[in-house]
Structure formats: structure tokens, C-alpha cells
Amino acid sequence: MPKSALTGSRIREHRLMRGLKQADLAREIGISASYLNLIEHNRRRIGGKTLLALSEVLGIDPSTLSQGAERAVVTELQDAAASDSDTQVELDQIDDLVARFPGWAAKITAQHRRLRALERTVGGLNDRLTHDPVLSEKMHEVLSTVSAIRSTASILVATPDLGAEWQARFYSNIDTESRRLADSSASMAAHLDHLSRNHTSRATPLEAMFAALDTRAYHLAELEEGGDPQVLLDTFPELDSAEARALALQHFATYSADAAAMPLEAFREAAHSAQFDPSALAVTFNVPLDAAFRRLASLPRSATVPDIGLVCCDAAGALLLRKSPSGLALPWFGAGCPLWPLYTALGTPGFPVRQVIESEDRAQFTAMAVAYPTGPLSFERPPMYHAAMLLVARDDQTATDASLVGTSCRVCARSDCPARREPTVLTQG
């Protein structure tokens, strides 16, 4: 299992770079110098509020200090190792690679993402060529027309003494079919050109949206002030396809509705008063619980706001939204760990689930989940459900009843997990 014991070392490194004394930094964030000393020597785990306070004083993003950012890179490297089973790699030394050569680790993960995206692109193009009804129809037209021209030409060659009247008819047929062939070919070329122009480097539109929202930590200041979602779209280069922009617009619309129902300053004050309890906030603002989840996850980072993550999925378990908290890497696609309360909630729609969970990095979170119907209700079909899970980092990381969870089975080292659905790539031997 990866060892994420480098957060304290990073804190010490950045403190020394800024010329701060340990006692001065400890006093500024409201802890004792002896406790900070234990943190810097990786002998105490660090809670969300303390981490955010340190990052604010040091003037650095919390993910740069936390093991969460490193864990995401470790997870990507493990996935890269699994994708090439013919090459043996030192899985037990991935932590050392990330710690000693972060640039190389980032380069490898970036290349792996690109290869994965290219593989999906090839698969997607193959599906299009196989199942695209427009392309199939146009190809049928081309082949039919070529066959007609060939048949007519064969008759002319095989019958040299054909009368002038019949020759004229056949020549006219060849001319008509040739024009039809040209039109069909041009139409097919235009369709292929349309597909190529709409192709993007992102594997899926959802991944493009995830990448865009990650750059803002899921807080969209423009929409807090009633900004135009269409204008906001142009600030995200990651949204490089019509499909990704459409998904982003849907998210922007939901975000704007949440912001209107729960104005930022009023919500932030209420969140502190309620100690970030989403059920209390849902009652205060008279909104559904999942709306309170989203609003909490969209709060701007500060030393007084805990580290908050959010995961949403559909009834099949596929992720629709993901904001990773420090200490728990979330997959970019597919489904996550089957032990997440997110999936428990799908089995009891409308009934909230709360549970303390512990990641492989031993970071603990209060996980709260709920499944809710989406779309209009109808007597003609059963309701469709989505589920949302809020993850709030715990300052006290010593809960003994915490449920052990992972990112996904593929990169989870827990061999005795009863919910495992596929072998882990971390198994040695």
C-alpha cells in the first residue's frame, strides 16, 4: 500500500523556503509549536482545517501540501502499470518515484492519459464506422451507384454492335449515375469532415468537464454574481467540444439555481453556524439535501472551511460529478469503490446515509449520501435516480469505527475486501 507520509515534510520545506520559524508559524495558525514539530516530522496526521490554515499562511494551494494530490498521481501510475502487463515495474517503489521525481511522475501520468484518450478515440471511431447510420447509408449509396455504372459499362463493352439509340441511353445512364456518385461521395466526405472537426483530445465530454471544474475547485465566482453562463464557457479551454460545453451549461444552470436559493454570504454564515451539517442547511434554506451537498462543495477554500469533496452518480453507478478531497483520489470515469455510501444510498432512495470512512491513505471523512429522483415523475415508467455523496474531512482522524474504502478495485491493495469485483494491479508475486 502506498505510504503517504510526506505532507509534513512538504510543510517543513515550504516553511523554510519562506524563512518562517516553526514557533511563528504554529502561533499564526493557532496550534502549539510542539504539535507542528510532530506534523513536520510526519508523526501526526493533519486535519482539513489545519491543512487549509497552513496553506493560507504559506501562500500555497492545499493540494500541493496534501497527500491527496500525490495519491492521485500514484493512482494514475498504478493504472499505467496495469495497462501494460508485459512490462514488469516496481509497484512498491511508486511512492519513491513520486516523491523524488515529481516532474517525471507527472510526465508519465500525462502520457498515460493521452494514450488512454487515443485508445478510446480509436474505439469510438471504430464504433462510428460500424454503427453510424448516416455513414452506413452514404456508403450504401456509393457502392450501389458504382455497381450500376459498372453494369452499364459492361453491357457497352460486351455489345459492340449495340444500336445508336441504345448506346445513347446507356451513356445517359452512366452520366446520371456518375453525377449521383459524385454527390454521394461529396456528402460522405462532408459527414466525415464534420466528425473530425467535432473530435477532441479529451476521452469523453464528462472528463473535459471534470478537468474544467477542477481548475476552479468547483467554485464559479462569475455565477455567484449572476454572470452569463455562455460567457463563462469561453474561459475554459478544457471544454473543447460541443458535447462538453453542453454538459457544462447544464452544470452551470444547476449551479446558478443553487446560488440563487442559497446566496453565498448567507450560506457561508449559516454553514459555519451549522458546523457544515447539510441536513440543517437544507432545512434553513428549504432546499433538497442534494442541493445543500452541491452548495457546500462549491464554497471557496479558506482556513475556516473544511476540505470538502463531492461525488454524484447515476443509477448505474457511473460518476457524473467528482470533486476530490485531499486524501481520497476519485476515478475520472466509470464507477468507484463499491463500499462508498454513495452506492448504499441508491438501494434506499430518499433515505440519507451517514458513515465515517477511511481511505487507503488513512484520511478520514464523514460521508453523507442520498439518492433522489431525477426528471419528471410518470405513471408510464419507474422513476430514475441519481445519488450524491458529500465528503467532509474530519479534524479528529482517530475514529475506530471508520469503514475502509478505496478508489476503485483496480488500484486498491486491500486483499480481504468482500466487495472486490476485479483483481488489483498492486498484487505482488
- The string of pLDDT tens digits covering residues 237-268 is 888 888 889 999 999 999 999 999 999 999 99
Contacts (Cβ under 8 Å, ≥6 apart) of 252: 220, 223, 229, 232, 233
Closest by CA to 324, choosing from 411, 391, 404, 414, is 391
| Domains contained in the chain, CATH given | 7-114 (1.10.260.40), 132-197 (1.10.287), 302-429 (no CATH)
Reported as a pLDDT band with limits 50, 70 and 90, residue 3 is very low
Degrees, nearest 5: CA angle 188-190-195: 95
CB 112 within 8 A of CB 105: no
Q: Which residue carries 462538453 as its cell?
A: 244
Average pLDDT over every residue of 219-236: 90
Position 1 scores a pLDDT of 37
Task: List pLDDT tens digits, range 126-185.
Answer: 655 555 667 777 778 888 889 889 888 888 888 888 888 888 888 898 989 898 888 888
Residue burial 307-330, b: 16+ Cβ < 10 Å; e: rest:
bbbbbbbeeeeebbbbbbbbbbbb
Degrees, nearest 5: CA angle 62-297-40: 20
Per-chain mean pLDDT for the chain: 82
Reported as a pLDDT band with limits 50, 70 and 90, residue 224 is very high
d(CA 128, CA 248): 24
Closest by CA to 393, choosing from 350, 425, 426, 362, is 362
Task: Please state, for a pLDDT cut of 70, what percent of the chain lies above it.
Answer: 85
DSSP bridge pairs for 355 = 367
Range with lowest mean pLDDT among 86-95, 329-338, 369-378, 408-417: 86-95
Position 343 scores a pLDDT of 92
pTM exceeds 0.75 for this model: no
Position 260 scores a pLDDT of 94
Position 379 scores a pLDDT of 87
Position 68 scores a pLDDT of 45
Average pLDDT over every residue of 363-379: 89
